[in-house]
Amino acid sequence: MAATARTVVIRQHGGPEVLEIEERPVGEPGPGEVRIRQHAIGLNFIDVYQRSGTYKMNLPAALGQEGAGVVEAVGEGVTHLAPGDRAAYGGGPAGAYAEVRVMPAASVVRLPDAISFEEAAAGILKGLTVQFLFRRTVPIAAGDTVLFLPAAGGVGLIACQWARSEGIRLIAAAGSPEKCRLALEHGASEAIDYRATPDIAAEVRRLTDGKGVAVVMDGVGKDTFEASLDSLRPLGMMICFGAASGPVPPFDILGLSRRGSLKLTRPTMFTHIADPEALREMAADLFGKMESGAVKVRVDQRFPLDRVADAHRALESRSTTGSTVLVP
């Protein structure tokens, strides 16, 4: 075992320039912990929120929520993992941007042989997000219509495939014609270029014969929040699960009643996976989709760990498609 491992840390909140790489000690796992040598690390918008200070962290702090690799050692009381196991995680304490790390075993699941480390690192946090959006937030059945945005990133492309596999009509909203085509290729029924469409809600209503959709899943945030609400049918559910364009400003709750007794929620995956048994059930559902081929995780960008700042710049500019991984 190496005594230290290269780890990405921040000492202050700010832009990509605050990301630093340092050698940090790596010890033995304690009770309920596991040590993983990582083969691939996922990149997510929550990492940007934590780095920038949108989500405050106690500093200095390590970054990263998602990774995959091989278990090197387990601590006392760990029974679901053993040294040599392939493993992955999408959650738990930050610190995934590292060659080797020790973390709570409850946050880690075994990885089937059929799924590569890159697919797992790129897909587990995003895939678990899609799982809780479609399975655990509001009942959604075959034949229902969902508006999803942004639909061409890592979460969105998994959502397009998930919806197709379940017989759910997904209207994709993405930020360019190329991204719309990508969403359609991955299973969306229709696609809207929200940068070129002056009235997203009007287009949604045109596509739904004036009715609106049952559910909106919005990860864009500030720029699309009002249009997303206006796209819902009466009694519809707005799921605001991210803020790629910035936080949603304060909102008058009476706007929900005026639009037809709408429902609004701001869930987080971490609430759902706090129960280890629920996490394993969710992961099994996701891995089943991946092993069957119903969901294929698209890795379009790869950066070495020492180019983590470039990876953050690419993600923030929304110039990426699919998922992005860091390679230790």
Q: Give domain 4-124+276-327's CATH superfamily.
A: Medium-chain alcohol dehydrogenases, catalytic domain (3.90.180.10)
- Give the residue range(s) of CATH 3.90.180.10 domains in the chain: 4-124+276-327
> What is the torsional sign of CA 237, 241, 245, 250?
positive
pLDDT, position 2: 63
Compute how many other C-beta atoms are within 10 angstroms of the C-beta atom of residue 297.
25
Within the chain, all domains assigned CATH 3.40.50.720 are found at 138-266
Band the pLDDT of 46: cuts 50, 70, 90.
Answer: confident
Contact 126, 197 (CB under 8 A): no
Q: What is the DSSP string of 253-301?
A: THHHHHTTS-EEE---HHHHTTSHHHHHHHHHHHHHHHHHTSS---EEE
Specify burial of residue 79 (Cβ count, 10 A radius: 0-12, 13-18, 19+): exposed
Q: Fold for domain 138-266?
A: Rossmann fold (3.40.50)
Percent of the chain predicted with pLDDT > 70: 99
- Over range 128-143, report the average pLDDT: 95
Q: What is the pLDDT of residue 158?
A: 94
pLDDT digits (tens, 9 = 90+) for 237-251: 999 998 777 888 898
Quick one: pLDDT at residue 127? 95
Please check the confidence at residue 83 and state whether its pLDDT lies above 70. yes
Q: According to the model, what pLDDT value does residue 298 have?
A: 84
Confidence of residue 319 (pLDDT cuts 50, 70, 90): confident
Taking residues 316-321, report their average pLDDT.
81
Band of residue 227 on the pLDDT scale cut at 50, 70, 90: very high
pLDDT for the residue numbered 240: 95
Tokens representing residue 113 in the block: 């042989």
User: Which range is least confidently modeled, 24-33, 99-108, 158-167, 239-248?
Assistant: 239-248
Mean of pLDDT values over 228-257:
91
Look at residue 50 and tell me whether its pLDDT is greater than 90: yes
pLDDT at 245: 78
Question: What separation in angstroms does the CA of 95 have from each of 57, 80, 91, 207, 251?
Answer: 12, 22, 10, 43, 34
Over residues 6-11, the mean pLDDT reads 96
The 10s digit of each residue's pLDDT in 112-130 is: 999 999 999 999 999 999 9
